[in-house]
Chains A and B, each alone.
Chain A
Amino acid sequence: MSNEKQGLRKIGTVPVFLTLVLLLVACVLPFVVSNYRTFQLTLVLVYAIALLGLNILTGYNGQISLGHGAFYAIGAYVAAMLMDQAGMPYWATIPIAGVVCLVVGFLFGLPALRLEGLYLALATFALAVSMPPILKAHFLEKWTGGVQGIVIVKPDPPAWLAAAGVKLNADQWLYYFVLAIALVLFVVGWNLISGRIGRALIAIRDHHTAAEAMGINTAIYKSLAFGVSAMYTGIAGALGAIAVQFVAPDSFTVFLSITFLVGIVVGGLASLSGALYGALFIQFVPNIADELSKAAPWAVFGVFLIAFVYLMPTGVAGALRVLLSRRRGGKLLQPKEAVP
């Protein structure tokens, strides 16, 4: 039996149908909602990419990172500096940001090989806390703009689109641009996770020694997971910088890393769709809670973090999976998720 067929059977028809509907809705939305909402939805997609990256590392491979805000920052700054200093077009900066973060992530992943659980959390936490001072540093000010940061211009829709008769404003164009990249990255992520590599990552997470005994090169897989994860988050950072049109050191504090942690815990650890739920949560819930008090979004985040660990450790994605399979009267589709 071919692998593809097995793969398809594993997903089932309902999720495929749902994904198609979701995609259709995602394509229509910018014409229905206001420009500001479109901008917010663009950020949701950006966060979803970042969360997917963090999930590959923490959810599937079991390496805890409290420092993914730092990789997001590096991606954002690479894009902003290339556009500001070198005058590069925005689309060309995305792959470069991805490659830079891949390399940085891989290099950070090498020492991380020797750190387990708590200690890795500590080291990445330290990385997140010390990122803003590095970005503010004087000797980098020429390129990073120091405390002021860098302002970048919002890209216009390309000329060929207008020539083809499609009229989009800048917000809508950026939304579709990010949507396309997110789709590609999600498909790549799905292929990565559902194949041989994904099984190796999960095996390492569940039983390191056994995985090694079975002939998995744990060192390579773990540092590659770190690199790929950082690459996803870096690409998200670059896209986020272009969408927000501004980067500054204080946007990338340790709280950004914590936001990502909230995203994967709420969305669902070790779940691809969880990245989307998590992104919706971290984009819209603070907006709602903000009306109460400036501190309220964080209070809500904190309570949700703890509550999810106690009550819903598989996140929204896990709960939905249980609901779906109950309706169909069957067993769980893929009980792959970590029990955190």
Chain B
Amino acid sequence: MEAVLLQVLAGLATGSIYASLALALVMIYQATHLVNFAQGEMAMFATYIAWSLVNAGMGYWPAFLLTVLIAFVLGVLIERVVIRPVENAPVLAVVVVFIGLLVILNSIAGWIFSYTIKSFPSPFPAALGIRYMSPHQVGALLVTLLVLALLYVFFRFTPLGLAMRAAAQNPVSSRLVGIRVGWMLALGWGLAAAVGAIAGMMVAPIVYLDPNMMAGILLYAFAAALLGGIDSPGGAVVGGLVVGVLENLLGAFVIGNELKLVVALVLIVGVLLVRPSGFFGSVQVSRV
């Protein structure tokens, strides 16, 4: 029983990281109805920036904040420069651009930082650990919950958050009331990149830092976002936690660690087939 509890708690910790990446995916999906295949690589790249800052002698938390800021700016830039021209293009073109972005970020990271695996520091003091969880697991869970709370407050209670929600929901009317929709989308990308960067920095001490570290994580995040409903932020969080726990339990007791990724594949295909809108998503109806 204790072993199960251990796995569930560990699952919640990693699940919270999947949840933040899934949330980043959902934010971009809500704004532009696109699934960002490069989200994982953007997070990976930001984590490398944090690593360089820490290595250059900066304290962890200043480096953390600076990285989040840089990731935000990079996210805005990517939206403005790369994504904007294909905003209304057919799906295939958009997917190709995202994959191109993924490949470019991956190779630049390999080029600058080499493909050797690096360790990434965990900022949390040993006192944070409890009986069943390591300090980093507790810390990652807390940081994720804090980020979620901040995002909720931002979107629910600030005028800018309201404008962003409006721009995502109804661009035409938003434009009529004076919201600069294009910039709202860019801000959404920036926020998603920042949230992704936090996810990357939280997961790097667990999976170690290398240019391909996010491939698996991104897959779990996809599964989480789809499970919760790709247009539901709350659903993404619940989905992330569920996927984390499921992955850990199945990996530990049923199929073994090496086939964990297949869980994500089965979940993704399964959800898309059985309930494409996920648990909390809205059902899409289209006229022909």
A is bound by B? yes
Which B-chain residue is minimally distant from A108 (CB atoms)? B269
User: CA of A178 to CA of B97 in the docked complex: distance in angstroms?
Assistant: 33
B206 within 8 A of A: no
Within B111-148, the residues touching A (CB, 8 Å) are 111, 115
Give the 3 A-B CB pairs with smallest separation, nearest first. A305-B100, A302-B104, A302-B103
Within A120-161, the residues touching B (CB, 8 Å) are 121-123, 125-127, 129-130, 133-134, 136-138
- Contact across chains for A138 and B256 when beta carbons are under 8 A apart: yes
Contacts of A138 in B (CB 8 A): 256, 258
User: CA of A127 to CA of B222 in the docked complex: distance in angstroms?
Assistant: 13
Which B-chain residue is minimally distant from A254 (CB atoms)? B215
* B interface, CB within 8 angstroms of A: 34-35, 37, 82, 85-86, 89-93, 95-97, 99-104, 106-108, 110-111, 115, 215-216, 219, 222-223, 226, 256, 258-262, 264-265, 268-269, 272-273, 276, 288
* A interface, CB within 8 angstroms of B: 58, 62, 64, 66, 111, 114-115, 117-119, 121-123, 125-127, 129-130, 133-134, 136-138, 209, 254-255, 258, 261, 265, 269, 293-299, 301-306, 308-310, 313, 338-340
Using A296-B107, A302-B102, A309-B97 as known contacts, list a sample of 4 further A-B pairs with CB atoms less than 8 Å apart, ordered by residue number in A.
Answer: A64-B95, A127-B265, A258-B99, A309-B96
- Contact across chains for B96 and A261 when beta carbons are under 8 A apart: yes
- Contact across chains for B103 and A298 when beta carbons are under 8 A apart: yes
- Contact across chains for A122 and B288 when beta carbons are under 8 A apart: no
User: CA of A122 to CA of B96 in the docked complex: distance in angstroms?
Assistant: 12
Contacts of B86 in A (CB 8 A): 309-310
Q: Is the interface of B mostly helix, strand, loop or mixed?
A: helix
A294 to nearest B CB, angstroms?
Answer: 7
User: CA of A133 to CA of B255 in the docked complex: distance in angstroms?
Assistant: 12
- Contact across chains for B95 and A305 when beta carbons are under 8 A apart: no
Which B-chain residue is minimally distant from A123 (CB atoms)? B269
- Contact across chains for B99 and A339 when beta carbons are under 8 A apart: no
A-B contact pairs, 18 of them (CB 8 A): A114-B272, A118-B91, A121-B95, A126-B264, A129-B219, A133-B260, A133-B261, A258-B99, A269-B92, A296-B107, A298-B103, A301-B107, A302-B102, A302-B103, A306-B96, A309-B96, A309-B100, A340-B90
- Contact across chains for B261 and A129 when beta carbons are under 8 A apart: yes
A180 to nearest B CB, angstroms?
Answer: 33
- Contact across chains for A295 and B111 when beta carbons are under 8 A apart: yes
Q: Which of A134, A137, A295, A310 contacts B110 (CB 8 A)?
A: A295
User: CA of A197 to CA of B61 in the docked complex: distance in angstroms?
Assistant: 61
Contacts of B82 in A (CB 8 A): 306
User: CA of A306 to CA of B82 in the docked complex: distance in angstroms?
Assistant: 8
